Structure 1
């Protein structure tokens, strides 16, 4: 597919990657000895190899990797992860950790875990501990994530959770929403809508927390008849509802995990055709100024292989062609939206 435009002129920020040293894999909540991702180090060296280090790759947003937290009460592993993030962001690795002093320039923002269900009083104590652990890297902490995809229904709608969101807003931090319609159903989408409404209710505009939706909210990308499938219709409705809040952004990421296995191995063009209806909805709902490129590396490699980052980059590039996005819109999608949403300078 020929194109008069491409990402060649666009700076790229990968808005969603996970990194961890081999020495700390047992602190991951999802760790098992058989898990390929947890069985080896996933650091900056491996990330750069996966991308091919294109000259227009400005850097990445490092998102927490779900360390053990004992239902939010034990902060040992999450604070250990912040120490790891600090070493990357300040270019001070321990021996064998897979990154160097020069790699610090690639780390543009940090999104640690936070104990959102505990309420603002405990969250404030955690933020103080996190700030002390982050030290000189604290200025790169732009927000926090608490995965909702595997939590009981209603978790994000408790008064304590909502008040925690309001605290983040007052402090100028974003909150990353990780929900999973594919495995948990439309209820998670409906709760996300209600959570955003309640978190912004009665709050001054400048103090309303910014929400960043991960991975298209994980729709089922195996659906064949999107015109009549109730799951697709529910997802599409939720996308337009969520997009009505101008302080809500969407990450164009995580799609490989929601595809059937027989699609993951197909060409970038075949994949684009297969998921084009989902991508079209996201573009129509949010527009390029509220969509940001993200790879979900290294999770994206599962079932796809080591070329997953490059394949997803190609898919998104072809999507820009298909949508006839002009250069300004492409620049926003590839890096501008991430800069705006996270407050990344430069």
Structure 2
């Protein structure tokens, strides 16, 4: 990769040790149940320091019903917004793992939002985020409601669809996290229908942008992709999703979906194993709608401290094997993220 091409890491999570109890999935025995802040991230990515990163909400505890009524169920997600604000404005609290010189690293952040509660609750919530974010509000470029573990049909409810349309009208993206590996073909089919409904009858400039996380989490343990129904369903979904120019794809999350034995192999060997999936992503979305993302620190589980650098080498090899020119390569490493999130470079 040309050294002059800046890196925007389009998917990381951060939290201070003091707020771990507010994270829904982070039990004390979880290997990530320790401080994961800017200083730790900078150490992990020191081999090729990114110009910036995009923070994605970390699934803080919340109560949708209470939040829709009086906002009392939103404390955890709003606490996360305040935490990002402290990083961005260089406001220091003891032992939170960032300093004033780190303020410019956060290129954008994507908080949680209660999309199932409908557009009225969303309007109220967005105003709360704007208030709590203060001067960091311009860096809020969209919202996420993690769908990978939610009941079937959640994303197809009328309130959810209307919330997506609201984001589109406000010029905010929707961060899409689903899991084909564990949820199967049905979740991908729901995604296709959700996007169609969210865009149906909407003016082009008001259609919500979907930024797809982790290649939809395909099953990277498949041995024979030519006969695997799982792979075929995933491949079909990728080409279908790519038909909308309002969808973008993150090259991320691979370590979490591959067998443990593969995680420990060299970047070159991992790349060869992932070729069937990576080829489809490139063919479907092209460099102009693909972005590099590490999924740090989740990427370290089962891989170790060198995970960030290992994933970067895999993406570098993809750029080389795909014979991307300088402009296409720049899009992968930073340009697509800047475009998709509407970030001024």
- TM tier relative to shorter chain: over 0.9
- Alpha-carbon distance, 1:19 to partner: 0.2
Q: Does 1:12 align with 2:11?
A: no
Instruction: List per-residue Cα deviations over 1:59-82 (Å, max 9, x = no partner).
Output: 000010000013463101000010
Counterpart of 2:217 in structure 1 is: 218
- Provide Cα deviations, 1:37-62, integer angstroms capped at 9, x if missing partner: 02x1000000000001635x210000
* Residues 155 and 194 in structure 2, CA contact (< 8 A), matched pair in contact too: yes
Q: 1:8 is paired with a residue of what secondary structure?
A: coil
Deviant stretches of 4+, over 2 Å:
70-73
3-state DSSP of counterpart to 2:15: coil
Q: Is the contact between residue 250 and residue 292 of structure 2 (CA under 8 Å) also seen in structure 1? A: yes
1:93 deviation in Å?
Answer: 2.3
Distance 2:184 2:171 in 1: 31
Q: Give the whole-Å Cα distance in 2 for the aligned partners of 1:176 and 1:110.
A: 11
Deviations 1:95-149 (A, max 9, x none): 1100011101110001000000000000100011111110000000000000000
Partner of 1:66: 59
Shift in Å, 1:324: 1.0
Task: Name the SS of the counterpart of 2:187 in structure 1.
Answer: helix
Matched with 1:195 is 194
Match of 1:27 among 19, 22, 25: 22
TM-score, normalised to structure 1, is: 0.97
Question: Which blocks of at least 5 consecutive residues in structure 2 are unaligned?
Answer: 68-72
Secondary structure of the structure 2 residue equivalent to 1:278: helix
Distance of 2:64 and 2:334 partners within structure 1? 34
CA distance in 2, matches of 1:88, 1:229: 45
Structure 1 residues 309-344: Cα deviation after superposition (integer angstroms, max 9, x where no partner): 000000100111111111111000000000000111
2:100 is matched with 101
Q: Alpha-carbon deviation of 1:8?
A: 2.0
Matched, 1:51 2:75: no
Unaligned 5+ segments in structure 1 are 1-5
Task: Give 1:256 deviation, angstroms.
Answer: 0.4
The separation in 1 between residues aligned to 2:223 and 2:2, in whole angstroms, is 30
- Could you say what secondary structure the match of 2:3 adopts? helix
Distance in 2 (alpha carbons) for counterparts of 1:68 and 1:190: 28
What is the alpha-carbon distance in structure 2 between the residues aligned to residue 20 and residue 131 of structure 1?
20
TM-score, length of structure 2 as denominator length: 0.97
Determine the structure 1 residue equivalent to 2:31.
Answer: 36
SS in 2 for 1:16: strand
Alignment of 1:209-288 (within 5 A): 209-288=208-287
- How well do the aligned residues superpose, as a CA RMSD in angstroms? 0.9
1:88, CA displacement in angstroms?
1.1
Change over 3 Å in CA distance of 1:145–1:15 after alignment to 2: same
CA–CA separation in structure 1 for the residues paired with 2:208 and 2:326: 29
**Alpha-carbon distance in structure 2 between the residues aligned to 1:163 and 1:115:** 12
User: Which residue is 2:82 aligned to?
Assistant: 83
Q: Which moved more, 1:295-304 or 1:46-55?
A: 46-55
| CA distance, structure 2, for counterparts of residue 130 and residue 279 of structure 1 | 36
The answer (yes or no) to whether the contact 1:45–1:98 under 8 Å persists in 2 is: yes
Residues paired across the two proteins, number: 339
- Residue 9 of structure 1 aligns to a residue in which SS? coil
**8 Å contact 1:7–1:317 — kept in the other structure?**
no
